[in-house]
Structure formats: structure tokens, C-alpha cells
């Protein structure tokens, strides 16, 4: 198995503070290398150094060779596209929102590989057909589902046939089926090349196989064959990552009792534009009950919650909500807490404003913060100064301060690291039950839903037979 890339004794620091310490690795032809770890472990920093796109103010030393030849920063930049290609975790940073999808693939073949316009378009169409995207040639990125956009980004990033592909969290936020499609596509595209995949998803690592390097706060804590390391982890950190995978969680269920019904949905159908997402959906929610929502991307999971909260009109059917004093008792917990919070105010100021506006009991803040493992200090920061896990826990705090009757949580932990995601999910479920709040939670991970939900609804089961989910918009 030929060696494509080697790094020896890489150290990166900001001032005197080390960010990566003594990292060494080898990438071989046809054998994926998985870099596993939480946010802040140095995974993306390592990728940026390999691509020579790292902040010039950082202190870096270490050796790198590609195809057996030592290469410096300037030399590595000349290899972009032709020898090395980077797939960022957000497709929108790779794709042009104003350009037709197929033309973006064709443009690489034309301007990097030198083919004629006609040849490049023909090659792009073949590439899209190969991965089930033939019908998307004329579509723009905004018309694609999350899984389709990620596959399109892979097509664009690999169209120049670079021998080394670097993928940074390529499956983040995708449902299980789309996640596996993307992993299989990457593995297939690079079966004769080199592949480095950064992820915090243990299941992605297992599916890729090959070699693994586990990073924790800039240090390599375990390294070796992926299947061997994950089957018999030696370090507590690796063991904790594996335990945080939802299929390994202890199941949490609501104690059976006589609770009041707060929501009844009867024969509900919802459309977006001219597209019918689902039809004939019926269910109810009791006080303190957790109802899990799963389904393929684009089937209408988020639209269901928006309809229940009155943000989207149903095309037919009935939604009967328990009578409450005002809409503030029916709330939504967003997938990305950063975009749902004011960035110019401290978290404490936002909380104070909420308490004043709704005349809430401020004495409840401290015990809720303790239950959510929130430091008092975070209230002095704005949303850009705290971690994603702390920000999502703060969002839960604000919601629960309102004593909601019903809370719709739309993928509330999909952008969090697995260890933090487990903590936040379990805290949310426990507190919702303690406050007798009905919780409707959407997740792309059926194992997560199975671990905490009292009942599960698969929206895909209610999609009309004539609808192609592949063409629906997430």
C-alpha cells in the first residue's frame, strides 16, 4: 500500500500555549484515515495546516511529505485542486448559491483539468448520474436537501481527481441514511486515493474503517486500526466518546400515569409550495410526554412543528391545542442557538429582559442553571463567547423559565459534540418531564429518539407514494 502523505512531529502553538503537540501520521493509498475528537481538540487546525491555509500568526513546526517529497507551505498551495482537495463541513462554503449545480461540477473539469465546455458538461452529467444526482444539474443549491447538497459538494471538491481528499465533518447534521450515503460516496471516490476524514461521530469512523487517530486537546491519545481501537479503547476519553453514541445510552421513559392531553393532531396534511410533504398524520401528546419525530431529509419534520406552533398553515386536517394563556406557553428550541439569540447582548441581559417582560420568578434561575450544569459566569458573556453546548443549555434555560406547556425541539443537539449532545439531551428530557411539559423532539438519529422518547413517529411513513423524497427540499 503506497504512502501518499506523511506528517512527523507537528507542533502548533499560539504564543506559549500549545494547540497541537507532537502529531505524526501517515496516509496510504486506499486506506482512509479518521481523525476523531471533540470540538477544540485540534482536528480542523490539523487539516488547515496540511492545506497550508492556517493563520500565519501561529507558531508551527513539523515535517510533511507528499508522494515522498518534502513540501513547504508555498509548495502545498500549488497542489490545491490537482493533488489535494478540501471538503468543508458546510456545503455552502464550497458551492455557489447563484450557479446551477451541474455547472459547478463542469467548471472544475474545464478550468482545472483543461477540458472543453462540451466535454466538461458531459463529464459532470456522468458524475452526477453516478451518485443519484442526475436530476439536479439545473437546480441551484437552495433547491437541494442537506444530503443532496453535501453529495454535490463532494462532486465539486473531487472533480479534479486530486489524490488526497480532506473532509472536515462531512456528515454533520445529516440523518442516518444520508450520513451513510455520504460516507460510502467518499470511500468509493477515494478507493484508489488518500482520504482524511475529521469527525466526532464514532459510527462514521466505524463505517470508514482504515486507520484512526484520536485527538484530545491537541494530543494524540490513541492511534491504530480503526476497528481495533474502537473495539478495545485503552484511554478513558475514547471510551467516553463511544459511550456517548446514542445507541449506547440508557433508555429513559416517562412513568405511566393519568396525565392530561395537551395536543391532538388529526389527519394532518402539509404542503410547501406545490409539494405535499405528508398526509393523514394523527397523534396526541400528554403532559410530560416525549414524542420523537424521525424521517428522511425533506419529509416535513420541521414543518410539522411549525404547523403545531401556528407558524405554518396546514393544507388539511386538525390541530387541537390545550387552551393556555398566550402563545408563550408553546415554544420552539432551535437547531442553531447562535442564530436565535441576540449577539450584541450578554446572556444575563437577555435573561433579565425575559424575566421583566413576562414577570417571571428570578429565584428559579439559579436552581435551573445548576441542573443544566451552567456556570454563573456565562451570564456575563455574549453568544459568541461561549461554547455551542453552553449556548444550547442557555436556550433550554430560557424556554423552561416560561413554564411551557409544549416545547418543539428541532434537532437541538445535531451540531454539538457527542459527549455534550448526550448531556444536553438527557437534561432536556428530564427537565421537561419534571415540569410536565410535552416535548416534541426531532432528530436525524433514530437511536437518540429511541433512547428518550415515549413514542416515535416516522414522518416518512406518511409521505404520499407519488412524492420523491430525493426531490423534496429539506
Q: Are 8 and 24 in contact (CB under 8 A)?
A: yes
Which DSSP category does 415 fall into?
A: T
d(CA 304, CA 292): 12
Across 206-274, the runs of DSSP E, i.e. the strands, are 211-216, 219-225, 261-272
Considering the entire predicted model, what is its pTM? 0.79
- The pLDDT of residue 175 is 77
Q: Are 210 and 26 in contact (CB under 8 A)?
A: no
Cell 460516496 sits at which residue?
Answer: 185
d(CA 230, CA 331): 39
- The pLDDT of residue 228 is 96
- The pLDDT of residue 289 is 94
- The pLDDT of residue 448 is 93
DSSP helix/strand/coil, 76: helix
Contacts of 465 (CB under 8 A, 6+ apart): none
Written out in words, the top-level CATH class of the domain with range 261-462 is: alpha beta
d(CA 436, CA 329): 12
d(CA 177, CA 151): 13
Mean pLDDT by 10 residues, the chain (474 residues): 91 93 95 90 92 92 95 93 84 83 91 90 89 87 78 85 90 80 86 91 93 95 96 95 91 71 95 86 95 87 92 93 80 83 91 94 92 88 82 90 93 82 89 92 92 94 66 38
CATH topology of domain 3-244: Rossmann fold (3.40.50)
d(CA 179, CA 175): 6
- The pLDDT of residue 326 is 66
Across 187-341, the runs of DSSP E, i.e. the strands, are 194-199, 211-216, 219-225, 261-272, 275-286, 290-294, 316-321, 330-333
- The pLDDT of residue 257 is 59
Phi, psi of 408 (to 5 degrees): -100, 115
- The pLDDT of residue 292 is 96
Q: Do domains 3-244 and 261-462 have the same CATH topology?
A: yes
Question: Domain map of the chain by residue range?
Answer: 3-244, 261-462
Report the DSSP pairing between strands 406-410 and 438-442: parallel
Q: Are 286 and 433 in contact (CB under 8 A)?
A: no
d(CA 145, CA 275): 14
Amino acid at each position: 500500500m503506497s504512502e501518499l502523505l506523511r506528517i512527523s512531529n507537528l507542533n502548533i502553538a499560539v504564543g506559549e500555549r500549545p494547540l497541537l503537540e507532537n502529531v505524526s501520521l501517515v496516509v496510504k493509498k486506499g486506506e482512509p484515515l479518521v481523525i476523531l475528537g471533540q470540538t477544540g481538540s485540534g482536528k480542523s487546525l490539523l487539516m488547515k495546516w496540511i492545506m497550508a491555509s492556517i493563520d500565519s500568526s501561529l507558531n508551527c513546526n513539523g515535517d510533511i511529505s507528499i508522494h515522498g517529497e518534502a513540501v513547504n507551505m508555498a509548495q502545498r498551495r500549488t497542489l490545491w485542486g490537482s493533488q489535494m482537495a478540501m471538503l468543508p463541513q458546510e456545503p455552502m462554503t464550497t458551492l455557489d448559491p447563484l450557479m446551477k449545480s451541474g455547472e459547478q461540477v463542469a467548471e472544475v473539469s474545464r478550468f482545472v483539468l483543461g477540458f472543453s465546455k462540451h466535454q466538461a458538461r458531459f463529464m459532470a452529467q456522468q458524475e452526477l448520474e453516478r451518485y443519484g444526482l442526475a436530476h439536479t444539474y439545473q437546480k441551484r443549491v437552495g433547491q437541494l436537501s442537506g444530503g443532496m447538497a453535501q453529495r454535490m459538494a463532494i462532486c465539486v471538491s473531487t472533480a479534479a481527481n486530486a489524490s488526497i481528499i480532506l473532509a472536515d465533518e462531512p456528515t454533520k447534521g445529516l440523518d442516518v441514511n444520508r450520513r451513510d450515503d455520504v460516507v460510502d460516496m467518499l470511500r468509493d471516490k477515494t478507493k484508489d486515493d488518500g482520504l482524511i476524514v475529521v469527525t466526532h461521530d464514532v459510527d462514521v469512523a466505524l463505517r470508514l474503517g482504515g486507520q484512526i487517530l484520536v485527538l484530545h486537546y491537541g494530543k494524540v491519545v490513541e492511534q491504530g486500526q480503526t476497528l481495533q481501537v474502537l473495539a478495545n479503547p485503552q484511554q478513558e476519553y475514547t471510551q467516553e466518546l463511544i459511550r456517548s453514541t446514542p445507541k449506547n445510552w440508557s433508555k429513559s421513559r416517562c412513568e405511566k400515569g393519568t396525565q392530561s392531553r395537551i395536543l391532538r393532531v388529526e389527519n394532518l396534511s402539509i404542503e410547501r409550495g406545490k409539494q405535499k410533504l405528508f398526509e393523514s398524520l394523527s397523534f396526541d401528546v400528554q403532559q410530560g410526554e416525549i414524542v420523537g419525530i424521525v424521517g428522511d431529509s425533506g419529509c416535513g419534520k420541521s414543518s410539522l412543528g411549525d404547523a403545531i406552533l401556528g407558524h405554518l398553515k396546514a393544507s388539511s386536517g386538525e390541530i387541537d391545542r390545550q387552551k393556555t394563556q398566550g402563545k408563550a406557553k408553546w415554544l420552539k428550541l432551535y437547531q442553531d442557538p447562535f442564530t436565535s439569540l441576540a449577539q450584541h447582548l450578554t446572556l444575563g441581559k437577555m435573561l433579565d429582559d425575559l424575566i421583566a417582560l413576562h414577570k417571571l420568578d428570578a429565584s428559579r434561575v439559579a436552581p435551573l442553571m445548576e441542573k443544566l450544569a451552567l456556570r454563573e459566569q456565562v451570564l456575563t458573556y455574549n453568544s459568541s463567547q461561549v461554547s455551542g453546548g453552553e449556548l444550547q443549555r442557555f436556550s433550554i434555560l430560557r424556554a423552561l423559565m416560561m413554564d411551557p406547556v409544549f416545547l418543539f425541539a428541532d434537532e437541538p443537539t445535531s451540531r454539538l459534540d457527542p459527549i455534550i449532545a448526550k448531556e444536553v439531551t438527557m437534561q432536556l428530557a428530564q427537565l421537561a418531564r419534571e415540569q410536565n411539559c410535552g416535548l416534541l423532539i426531532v432528530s436525524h438519529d433514530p437511536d437518540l429518539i429511541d433512547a428518550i422518547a415515549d413514542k416515535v413517529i416516522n414522518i416518512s411513513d406518511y409521505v404520499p407514494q407519488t412524492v420523491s423524497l430525493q426531490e423534496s427540499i429539506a
